[in-house]
């Protein structure tokens, strides 16, 4: 019974992967990546890495452009998340927090974030920890805005340019690897996504 939902997730990720590969040869590829990165930084659950990987694998010579679009979109989305936490916490921020099931620890999380906020923000910008939670918390706790912009820019650009750069170098091999082991990688992707949320829940 457990294998059925796993297969559904794998099938959905496979369809997403195949669909995103089609964007690589269109004029709208960068725009799609930009919009996804922007949305993920403030409310959308799927990280932009999946689209970034698919695009760079399909068109490795555009790696710098895609990493740049992804970084800029993510930071702008982070600013939106900061604004949600700062000015729209009750009307928008809380529904997002409830959606990701981190509300039981939100009060304690806020208290810790006031002391360790910039460290957590840096970790969230570069790791699977949900960046959207960090952006909303930054606004809600009043983290210095320019420090927020600086750390977000360095963390997000560092992450996306690292991914795109590695794919540029090992692109053909990576594409073959993804095609061969897609089922296993799709499970790993979901595990990492949930691990990020668990990190927020139990360690912050």
Chain segment 42-88, per-residue pLDDT in tens: 877 677 887 888 788 878 888 899 999 999 999 999 999 999 999 99
Task: Name, in order, each residue with C-beta under 8 angstroms of 10's C-beta and a sequence gap of 6 or more.
Answer: 182, 183, 186, 187
In the chain, domain spans: 3-203
pLDDT confidence tier of residue 199, bands split at 50, 70 and 90 = low
* CA-wise closest residue to 118 among 101, 83, 87, 142: 142
Closest CA to 149 of 56, 83, 66, 64: 83
Angle at 197 between CA 191 and CA 203, to 5 degrees: 115
Q: What pLDDT digit, counting tens, does each position of 103-161 carry?
A: 665 666 676 777 777 888 888 888 767 788 888 888 988 889 999 999 999 999 999 99
Q: Name which of 130, 134, 149 is nearest 44 in CA terms.
A: 130
Q: Is 63 exposed, middle or buried (0-12, 13-18, 19+ CB in 10 A)?
A: buried
Asked if residue 100 lies in contact with residue 184, where contact means CB atoms within 8 angstroms, the answer is: no
Q: Could you give the CA distance from residue 66 to residue 1 in angstroms, rounded to a whole number?
A: 39
Query: For residue 4, what pLDDT band results from cuts at 50, 70 and 90?
Result: low
Q: What is the pLDDT of residue 167?
A: 84
Is the whole-model pTM more than 0.85?
A: no
Number of Cβ within a 10 Å radius of residue 83: 17
Q: Which of 3-7, 18-22, 140-144 has the lowest mean pLDDT?
A: 3-7
Quote the pLDDT of residue 1.
Answer: 46
């Amino acid at each position: 019974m457990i294998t059925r939902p796993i297969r559904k997730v794998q099938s959905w990720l496979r369809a997403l992967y195949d669909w995103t590969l089609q964007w690589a040869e269109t004029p709208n590829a960068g725009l799609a990546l930009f919009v996804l990165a922007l949305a993920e930084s403030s409310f959308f659950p799927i990280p932009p890495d999946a689209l970034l990987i698919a695009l760079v694998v399909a068109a490795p010579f555009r790696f710098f452009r895609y990493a740049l679009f992804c970084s800029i979109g993510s930071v702008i989305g982070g600013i939106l998340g900061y604004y949600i936490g700062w000015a729209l916490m009750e009307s928008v921020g809380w529904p997002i927090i409830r959606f990701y099931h981190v509300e039981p620890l939100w009060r304690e999380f806020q208290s810790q974030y006031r002391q360790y906020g910039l460290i957590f923000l840096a970790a969230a910008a570069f790791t699977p920890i949900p960046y959207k939670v960090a952006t909303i918390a930054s606004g809600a706790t009043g983290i210095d805005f320019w420090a927020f912009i600086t750390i977000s820019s360095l963390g997000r650009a560092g992450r996306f340019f690292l991914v795109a750069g590695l794919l540029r170098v090992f692109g053909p091999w990576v594409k073959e690897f993804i095609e061969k082991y897609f089922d296993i990688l799709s499970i790993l992707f979901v595990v990492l996504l949930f691990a990020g949320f668990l990190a927020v829940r139990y360690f912050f």
